[in-house]
């Protein structure tokens, strides 16, 4: 996986016109190792644009954001 930098757009893991896709579009994932996904954009808490997000952290963020979208839709 290529490195993602602060402000990189993140692909929606769900169909965009589905309920899950719409919920995922507004997920604000808590910071994990200084990174979070907010409104489909990868953000660094210190806005360190030169830093890159490693794949392990990114995977964690994607799983957390998927779970948050599912909670929003199914609850």
pTM of the model as a whole: 0.87
Is residue 48 within 8 Å of residue 6, measured between CB atoms? yes
Domain span holding position 59: 4-74
Number of domains in the chain: 1
Q: Above 50 in pLDDT, residue 1?
A: no
Residue 48: per-residue pLDDT:
85
pLDDT band at 2 (very low <50, low <70, confident <90, very high): low
Higher pLDDT, 69 or 75: 69
pLDDT digit string, tens, across residues 10-65: 999 999 899 999 999 999 999 998 999 999 999 999 998 889 999 999 999 999 99
In angstroms, rounded to a whole number, what is the distance separating the alpha carbons of residues 34 and 57? 9
């Amino acid at each position: 996986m290529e490195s993602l930098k602060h402000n990189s757009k993140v692909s929606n893991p769900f169909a965009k016109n589905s309920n899950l896709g719409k919920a995922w579009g507004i997920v604000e994932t808590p910071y994990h190792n200084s990174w979070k996904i907010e409104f489909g954009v990868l953000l660094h808490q210190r806005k360190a644009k030169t830093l890159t997000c490693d794949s392990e952290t990114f995977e964690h963020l994607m799983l957390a954001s998927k779970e948050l979208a599912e909670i929003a839709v199914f609850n």
